[in-house]
Structure 1
Amino acid sequence: MQLVPHNPTEGIYPASDDYVHALEVRGATRTLYVAGTMGLDANGLAGTSLDEQLALIWSNLRTILAAAEMTVDNIVRITSYLRDASYAEANAQARVAALGGRVVPTTAIVVQTLADDWLVELEIIAAA
């Protein structure tokens, strides 16, 4: 599988250092669509802080990816649903750390979550 970033610089606003406008996937034979994943522990309880929930989310995503014989290196798209816009920086930092600095197309949206203690939810697409 080959990942080809497309980050035009003319006629469009510039991408920031932590994402790319588009990522072309060539030669993939499998695509994994992961439902929104929350910062819940194995008992279904939400982490008590934003940082704890972000750590749980990335741990949960690694578990889901492993079940499909994939890793975070296979992630090609991320959508973040944030309960508050002030969570954007911590969410971006957690994403950059989890991906080891690799950039993918990403969108963050501020929403009302289904439960008050859910602070952030991530939805990913992975390919192999």
Structure 2
Amino acid sequence: MITIRNPKDRPAPEAYHHGVEVSGNNRTLYLAGQIGMLPDGTIPEGIEAQTRALYANLKAVLAEAGMDFSNIVKTTIFLTDPKNRPAFSAARTEATGGIKSASTLVYISGLFLPELLVEVEAIAVKEVGA
């Protein structure tokens, strides 16, 4: 079972949850950091295109495990430029249908390829038998 924890006496998070509690008989999937690389190995230009590509990659890994974005309980986002946050957030909301999780955003100086602008890793949980 997944329970959202957003205390009423704390600032309301806009694009994430303060906490996500997992209990019961569950399967856990740890997703490696996904980047905006297309299936043909190319990297599209721009934060929106890279974000759409990386969420398509996340979706494919989730589907392989019989899960979807609603099963994600935690994400860690690595952005190379703070100016890209609004465009990333809009593309993420579009890609996930607005589904939220607990989330951490970290600004970094770069990723393993200089043209990469964003990477997202995730943890997903699904109740056994669901």
| Shared fold per TM-score greater than 0.5 | yes
Q: Which blocks of at least 5 consecutive residues in structure 1 are unaligned? A: none
Q: Which blocks of at least 5 consecutive residues in structure 2 are unaligned? A: none
Q: Quick check: 26-35 or 56-65, which moved more?
A: 26-35
Map of 2:96 onto structure 1 = 99
Residue 85 (structure 2) pairs with residue 88 (structure 1): yes
CA RMSD in angstroms, aligned pairs only: 1.4
Compute the TM-score of the two structures, normalised by the length of structure 2.
Answer: 0.87
Map of 1:49 onto structure 2 = 46
Letter in 1 for 2:53: L
What does 1:107-118 correspond to in 2, within 5 Å?
107-111=104-108, 112-118=110-116
Compute the TM-score of the two structures, normalised by the length of structure 1.
Answer: 0.89
Aligned pairs, number: 125
Q: Percent identity?
A: 34
Map of 1:7 onto structure 2 = 6
- Secondary structure in 2 aligned to 1:78? strand
Deviation per residue, 1:33-77 (Å, 9 max, x gap):
011100001122211121111110111111111111111111111
Partners of 1:119 and 1:6 lie apart in 2 by 30
Deviation per residue, 1:76-121 (Å, 9 max, x gap):
1111100101111122222223332232111111112111111100
Runs of 4+, deviation exceeding 3 Å: none
